[in-house]
Amino acid sequence: MKHFSEDDLIAYQLHESSDESAIHRHLEECKDCAALSESIAETLRVFSAEPFPQPDLEHNWQRLRGNLSVLTPEHPSRLSILRWHWAWPAIGLVAAALIVMAGVGLHLHHEQRTKLHLALDNHAINGHGPLTTQPTDPAIADHLDAAERLLTEVNNSQGSLDQTTREQAHTLLLKNAVYVHTARDSGDVAEAAVLENLGRVLTTLDNEPPTERSAWRLRLEMNTNGLLLDIRILRQNDDDKNQGAAQ
């Protein structure tokens, strides 16, 4: 008689089994599997939901309220406040950047409205419109292209990262610092912010021990902070600009 594994029986008890009727029939005639299955069922009963202590909403609201900054259309908050903090000194130093920002204010506004409709997920990107009116350095465009490919691969892969991926990350990291400066110098704060964020992820990729766990953490973080999406938006903007230039 072919017995079922513990995992099979756990899946059965959780109604996640694709083999439910076969297992059910087997349990009626196999004492061993029936005992194991009952032991699993009991475990699930013992670890059923404990009552949840209701939080004090007023207290939590007051605490949260103190941490909320005012969101205004003037803050292109596609990038969170945290990711903007470094940019302020740069803006202060480069007055020209402010002028550029003001000059493309309408574009930013349009950009922001467009981005309201973007998904948190990494697919279904339909945003377009330039972040700035400045042409993007083709070297940066290539860099973003390579970064997007690498991160997509990291995101779609399983387990720990292979040596090639880690070497690619290292190479990209070395170039990235240069492009952050280029973007800042040209007053493209949004692009610079994305590149900064990319730099942090690449640093993690470069430094983390090559374990399955660290790779998972990295993928989770990449997705939570929306880096891949940011890069794709920048890339798409570049494409739009290039098409616009060709017309």
Instruction: Give residues in contact with Zn ion (CB under 5 A).
Output: 3, 30, 33
- DSSP calls for 168-188: HHHHHHHHHHHHHHHHHHTT-
Question: 143 by DSSP, 3-state: which?
Answer: helix
- Token pair 């279904």 is found at 124
Which listed residue (18, 28, 31, 68) binds other proteins by CB under 8 A? 68
What is the Cβ-side half-sphere exposure of residue 233, based on CA atoms within 13 angstroms? 29
DSSP H or E run through 134: none
Please identify, using beta-carbon distances, which residue of 1 and 116 lies nearer to Zn ion.
Answer: 1
Region near other proteins per CB under 8 A, out of 68-76, 85-93, 161-169, 187-195: 68-76
Nearer Cβ to Zn ion (16/29): 29
For the chain, the distance separating the N- and C-terminal CA atoms, rounded to the nearest angstrom, is 72
For residue 45, the minimal CB distance to Zn ion (Å) is 22
207 binds other proteins (CB under 8 A): no
- Contacts of other proteins in 104-163 (CB under 8 A): 112, 115-120, 158
Shortest reach from residue 134's CB to other proteins, in Å: 22
Residue 20 CB partners (closer than 8 Å, separation 6+): 12
- Cα(59)–Cα(4) distance, rounded to whole angstroms? 51
CA 163 to chain centre: 22
Residue 174 touching other proteins (CB under 8 A): no
Site for other proteins in 18-57 (CB under 8 A): 35-36, 39-40, 42-49, 52-55, 57
Q: Confirm if 6 and 36 have CB atoms less than 8 A apart.
A: yes
Q: Which of 2, 31, 65, 123 binds other proteins (CB under 8 A)?
A: 65
Which CB, 172 or 229, lies closer to other proteins?
229
Q: How far apart are CA 169 and CA 72, in angstroms?
A: 36
Interface residues toward other proteins, by CB under 8 A? 6-7, 10-11, 13-14, 16, 35-36, 39-40, 42-49, 52-55, 57, 60-61, 63-65, 67-73, 77-78, 80-82, 112, 115-120, 158, 216, 219-220, 223-224, 226, 229
